[in-house]
Structure 1
């Protein structure tokens, strides 16, 4: 299993929106960055990810699971753009902010800390466990 981080603007697609989709999940559409798209091509069913609210909140707020592997983005109209589907697993008891991550020396190499613009990012197992601990949430 691999771990990921999915960034979303809560005014466009929030944790509550994701939860409302239930076990069917939702396409992680709208990604128009080749690096992020290529990461989604690596994802497998059952991989887990952090759901991250960008913009003003800038915090990990929940855990999602990949429930459909890479397929054409139904909203793209261009075969170059693909996406996975994700479903909500559980919320964080305590959101973990970007500042929390920057303040934690063990996360100094995390992609989120060094490349805040990338919408889909890999997360190491050590980073996963630490952020779950910081968020008082079961890894």
Structure 2
């Protein structure tokens, strides 16, 4: 899950204790949000500034409508912070790993909510030192 840190950072989520992941206006990202279930985890990625995965959050409420959407067609979820990564994982590191070349984070660089497959998750966690 990508967020520009000057708009909503990892530290903002930690301070709030629970945040609504809203404002997504891309159909692929919307579908990824809609498929999320309570208890699933997601990487928190700082986009534009940093270009790195900085933490892991957990879905605390799924299947909700985006409160910023007046049309009622866009999805949202609530998330809680779980773990700040011991070592942030940069996009450069991810792109340098051939086994992550097909990762949605790499293939769809503008996608704000990307699917991370289990083997990709494990590799990124290893890069982060967990």
Superimposed CA distance per residue, residues 114-137 of structure 1 (whole angstroms, 9 cap, x where no aligned partner) = 111000011011110110110112
> Structure 1: how far apart are the matches of 2:12 and 2:107?
28
> Which residue is 1:63 aligned to?
56
Unaligned 5+ residue runs, structure 1?
1-5
TM-score w.r.t. structure 1 length? 0.90
* 1:76 to 2:76 alignment: no
> Structure 1: how far apart are the matches of 2:103 and 2:75?
25
Q: SS of 1:117's equivalent?
A: coil
Provide the aligned length of Structure 1 versus Structure 2.
Answer: 130
* 1:46 to 2:61 alignment: no
Superimposed CA distance per residue, residues 43-91 of structure 1 (whole angstroms, 9 cap, x where no aligned partner) = 1110110000000210000000000012111122221112011110010
Superimposed CA distance per residue, residues 9-50 of structure 1 (whole angstroms, 9 cap, x where no aligned partner) = 00000000011122xx11101101111111111111101100
RMSD: 0.8
* 1:97 to 2:90 alignment: yes
Give the deviation of 1:109 after TM superposition: 1.1
* 1:16 to 2:16 alignment: no
Unaligned 5+ residue runs, structure 2?
none
Moved over 2 A (4+): none
For residues 109-124 of structure 1, the aligned pairs below 5 Å read 109-124=102-117
> Structure 1: how far apart are the matches of 2:41 and 2:75?
18
